[in-house]
Structure 1
């Protein structure tokens, strides 16, 4: 099967594929969301925009699909400070029709990222605001996704010294720990991009059942390390490893962190950096793991996608590169 090219307008700020890979959603600068789909089941037809609607009063920064067991649903966040959930409605004419399922009023602060988490206690949403605040919502009934309640709100950045002003972050990235079974442990990693080093490194947060609150589990940084703005974080799927892997792109480098949840004598997890990759020689903007969690893809301002794997000795090495058309 030949690959078909997709041309997107300059107004598209972000795209997200659904779990089947047959549809994707596009977040647009004019406040609208687009749904693109294949027109036949063979997979050889080009994509076409099957629906577009006004979703926000400002640019849409992220649009993300819900876990497939909850049907065709997307959540979006915007500079207007709102988070909206949209569900597809079946119509007899065969065209896509999407309707507002829920509107989560945030604040006047830009919402930089939003992600679903399907945990033991039910479906959750975590949002990251430009002011460094994190909000976590949960459904009261997973069969009725119109009603959400605010479960927790906390700051992911250290308290600022008096007179330094407020934190203003330009981007954020959230990644939940992928499920091992049908549901996952309530743990996620969050990183912020800001000119202020007070924002800190990417951080891992976990819901402590004993205390019924979210707590900081780990900070992904070496002692006395000069901190770079975090562009993207990605938690690797786990197919049987006794440890977890998290990739973090900050500045021009990608770090791969190893987390072992077995407690040590102080009751803390073990965190270590196992790779520091700098081959892009440019800002690294996006990371993505394959389904096995063994291959990492990275893309940067150089226009190239690089593929990484660990050797038997645990050394991460570049295994391939997809060069941009301008360099081919």
Structure 2
């Protein structure tokens, strides 16, 4: 079947992110952010967001309006809000800076919003292996953000952090129920240190007012492997949770049993190990029901997986790249 190009993005594009309303945010290595609105073949907005290359751009939950966050290689995070401008006629929409955060020069590798019971939060994963959690003082005042917590992605702080090199990180919040989610997220790193590299699940405990690791997504006999992407599946009535973790050419699907056991840990089992890709798996996405997983990698193909009634995950189809067609 012949294919046609809908939109051609700039060569400097390094990251894209769709909103729930079908809008596309594009981050450029020049420090520029763009917003594309279908069916237009040109960006509806384009502005200089950072003085250094933009690494990631993510949309906030739709209930907070058109709110966009961007992270740069200089360690800064900026929040942008769309508004109606009457400076020119006709009235048009513009983007303005809501908040700018920068604690140090450590590059931000990933960031993600979470709309929790205690308010809107976002998590950043730095190239030094540290996680930072920010929260709003009030969801009605999105200009005021505070650092709620900062901690390294290690099981035991006594192990020490040392000097590490992180090439990528991936964050995925536990999907919301009734538009609000629990303060639980999964994070995986690809680093020079094994203790940082595994995918881990973190939860905020109200009793101790701190974040604690409640699961490590690997078998006890396995060595930690660098994580390239992590994706928490939506849950529509399942009595358990599913998380997909991409490491190298393989994808592991993990089953998590909530609530926590008597020692404050999750019961975690591997449901599948998918090894069909011929190259490194770089991205994954679940459908809205959490029953179909799409994976893509450097081999240029997208693979679709589903679980049968026996709980076995099977390859259901391949979307091949044009060079292979």
TM-score category (smaller protein): over 0.9
Instruction: Tell me if 1:86 matches 2:76.
Output: no
Instruction: Tell me if 1:121 matches 2:115.
Output: no
Task: Quote the residue 1:6 is aligned against.
Answer: 7
- 2-side partners of 1:60 and 1:47: how far apart? 22
TM-superposed deviation, 1:266: 4.2
Structure 1's 219 and 90: CA in aligned 2 closer, same or farther, altered over 3 A?
Answer: same
- 1-side partners of 2:266 and 2:64: how far apart? 33
User: What are the within-5 Å matches in structure 2 for residues 192-207 of structure 1?
Assistant: 192-207=189-204
**Equivalent position SS for 1:198:** helix
User: What are the within-5 Å matches in structure 2 for residues 1-328 of structure 1?
Assistant: 5-21=6-22, 23-38=23-38, 45-92=39-86, 93-157=90-154, 166-264=163-261, 266-328=263-325
- 2-side partners of 1:187 and 1:160: how far apart? 23
* 8 Å contact kept, 2:294–2:305: yes
**Structure 1, unaligned runs of 5 or more:** 39-44
* 8 Å contact kept, 2:256–2:269: yes
Structure 1's 147 and 161: CA in aligned 2 closer, same or farther, altered over 3 A?
Answer: closer
Structure 1's 250 and 160: CA in aligned 2 closer, same or farther, altered over 3 A?
Answer: farther
Give CA deviations for 1:237-291 in whole Å, capped at 9, x if unaligned.
0000000000000111000000001344545321001000010021000010010
* 8 Å contact kept, 1:160–1:166: no
TM-superposed deviation, 1:9: 2.1
Give CA deviations for 1:165-188 in whole Å, capped at 9, x if unaligned.
511201110000010112111000
TM-superposed deviation, 1:4: 5.5
CA RMSD after TM alignment: 1.8
- 2-side partners of 1:94 and 1:36: how far apart? 19
**Structure 2, unaligned runs of 5 or more:** none
* 8 Å contact kept, 1:32–1:53: yes
- 1-side partners of 2:158 and 2:169: how far apart? 19
Aligned residues: 319
- 1-side partners of 2:24 and 2:158: how far apart? 40
- 2-side partners of 1:193 and 1:76: how far apart? 21
**Equivalent position SS for 1:6:** coil
- 2-side partners of 1:156 and 1:74: how far apart? 26
Structure 1's 3 and 182: CA in aligned 2 closer, same or farther, altered over 3 A?
Answer: farther
- 2-side partners of 1:310 and 1:294: how far apart? 7
* 8 Å contact kept, 1:180–1:239: no
Give CA deviations for 1:26-45 in whole Å, capped at 9, x if unaligned.
0110111011112xxxxxx3
Structure 1's 267 and 58: CA in aligned 2 closer, same or farther, altered over 3 A?
Answer: closer
- 1-side partners of 2:150 and 2:234: how far apart? 27
